[in-house]
Structure 1
């Protein structure tokens, strides 16, 4: 009887796991809009130009190239940044004037002491297939000069936004043991050498580092919503005070099955677009769309009313 009970329980658990997996897959692919050109198999940053056309960049291994996408995901145009290198391009953002910022600040081993951001005009204003960038350099004075201890390895970077003439950087945590904290730093938005200023921190989760790593960030056109992306979730921050982005309301949006989600941006104040990298031709390489007024949000924190419901739409 005991063995029969164990077999029955095991079968029930397998069935539940299967149903949850199917639902997780459906949750992600139900919001897919298009598959991108295979040339962008390591897509790491996206942004819309003034005409709402989507531009993308690849991770390290590609040249210093921006790609404009057609609505079917094919490549319509390429622009090379002639005075740039793609050591490890990880994200894109733009300011309210339409300038694009390209983050060459991937730091997997936490051994790059000086990191780079390239600032270019809005691609709509680039008339040829090349452009030159304004170069922003920064370092973390907190790193010091010696070898970084495993518990301090929180200087990798894959996410940033522009806000009120400054660039805000969200680290990709590589601490051992993993503590799930992304740190927020600030640098200027113009050509100079900066010491990154520490602003605050936020803990996503500690379940598994690859599920909790922050891989991209976006700020809404009206500058009232901030989003951070990881492999399973969008973290939405609203009603924050100034650049204290973690001070307001925080909610989490479940994105279903785990894929290597690497880039997010706002299409408008209510619409988010994100992408994932292709994995061995099996999954990923897609563009997805989320409407904030239609998606379920799991509320993590309300800044003012702590007695409100824990879930909302």
Structure 2
């Protein structure tokens, strides 16, 4: 989803205070402003992945996808040069609007969940075996398992980008896939939890959070027990990028202890993935800058049982 057509529309503004307000003006619980975090640029990205929309790591290798208007391809990236070192087609798949990637030890998940109009009823999830993906050559497609789902409680639609039914962020937490809504209308996100192996699901949202922007990516670290949500806000002539860090306690997110960070440099950052105590991010090419692979280094966190 390009920012070019969206700049000039003032959707959200962030308050520079330690307790962040929700869209209705009330305080958003106990969330704290954690200050700025710097995104270190590792490399520019190949012209083959300038519309990067997701990020996943496995066995020390970095994978991304392009969003709508592109084919059903998975791209392995070279961390140091940003080049595509392997491109694999997903068999029997269509890229309607691939927007996010998630991973566990056995599988890579690709979410075809983009919904700019707000009226798309059925969304898709492709589950790909990691071992098969790593072993397959570029000349043959990799097999996938297909899961279709819909949101049981979509919100009202006032027009394109005037609804809270879009989705660009999924991550695996334990045995569940967590899906986060991109709230064009209210600047909130809804959390949905679903199985990764059952077709024709209709999950119901379990929580709504006042994230005050548009969520584009999510990832969970089982080691740190921490969820991150990546997003941006749109001003009249600019876009600001932010990160929410949410503790997960006994498998449940604790929004009351969430921390908010502004990120710099801003831009259309669309993918995020944990790697130890650091975060890798990808930025799509837009009016705000070239496609990039970046990194945020965080302080080590004590591991919990």
Q: TM-score when scaled to structure 1?
A: 0.75
Shift of residue 121, structure 1, vs aligned partner: 0.9
What residue ranges of structure 1 are gaps of 5+ in the alignment? 1-25, 206-211, 295-313
Look up the match of 2:49. 40
What is the CA-CA distance between 1:104 and the residue it aligns to?
0.2
For the pair 1:101 / 2:81, whether they are aligned, the reply is no
The question of whether the paired residues in 1 share the 8 Å contact of 2:44 and 2:291 is answered with yes
1:289 corresponds in structure 2 to 295
Gaps of 5+ in 2: 1-35, 233-240, 301-305
Q: Is the 8 A contact 1:49 1:98 kept in 2?
A: no
By how many angstroms is 1:186 displaced?
Answer: 1.2
Instruction: Write the distance in 2 (CA, Å) between the matches of 1:116 and 1:162.
Output: 16
State yes or no: 1:203 paired with 2:210: yes
Q: Does 1:186 align with 2:193?
A: yes
* Deviation by residue 1:179-203 (Cα, 9 ceiling, x = unmatched): 2210001111114110112110111
Structure with bigger gyration radius: 1
Return the alpha-carbon distance in structure 2 between the equivalents of residues 246 and 79 of structure 1.
38
Question: Does the 8 A contact of 1:260 with 1:284 survive in 2?
Answer: no
State how 1:92-131 maps to structure 2 within 5 Å.
92-95=101-104, 97-122=105-130, 125-129=134-138, 130-131=141-142
Question: More helix per residue: 1 or 2?
Answer: 1
Judged with a 3 Å threshold, the aligned counterparts in structure 2 of structure 1 residues 28 and 241 are, in CA distance, closer, same or farther, namely closer
Aligned to 2:165: 155
Partner secondary structure for residue 74 of structure 2:
strand
- Kept in 2, the 8 Å contact 1:168–1:185? The answer is yes
**Mapped contact 1:160–1:168 kept (Cα < 8 A):** yes
The one of the two structures with greater contact order (alpha-carbon pairs below 8 A, sep at least 6) is 2
The size of the alignment, in residue pairs, is: 252
**CA-atom RMSD, angstroms?**
2.3
Q: Is the 8 A contact 1:134 1:191 kept in 2?
A: no
The Cα shift of 1:163 comes to: 1.4
Name the CA shift for 1:155/1:242 in 2 (closer, same or farther; >3 Å).
Answer: farther
8 Å Cα contact 2:173-2:222 kept in structure 1: no
Deviation at 1:249, TM superposition (A): 2.2
Q: CA deviation at 1:149?
A: 4.7
Task: Summarize the Cα distance change of 1:195–1:243 in structure 2 as closer, same or farther, 3 Å threshold.
Answer: farther
Q: Is the contact made by 1:45 and 1:262 (CA closer than 8 Å) also made in structure 2? A: yes
User: Any idea what the Cα deviations from partners look like across 1:1-50, whole Å, max 9, x if unmatched?
Assistant: xxxxxxxxxxxxxxxxxxxxxxxxx9756x11111101111100011122
CA distance in 1 between partners of 2:164 and 2:254 (Å): 18
Q: Tell me, in whole angstroms, the C-alpha distance in 1 between the residues paired with 2:148 and 2:37.
A: 40
**What CA deviation, in whole Å up to 9, does each residue of 1:41-85 have, x standing for no partner?**
1100011122x1111100111100000011310010001001111
Segment of structure 1 superposing worse, 63-72 or 118-127: 118-127
Q: 1:132 to 1:157 in 2, by over 3 A?
A: same
User: Is 2:88 aligned against 1:83?
Assistant: no
Q: Quote the Cα distance in structure 1 between the aligned partners of 2:201 and 2:282.
A: 30
1:237 maps to: 246
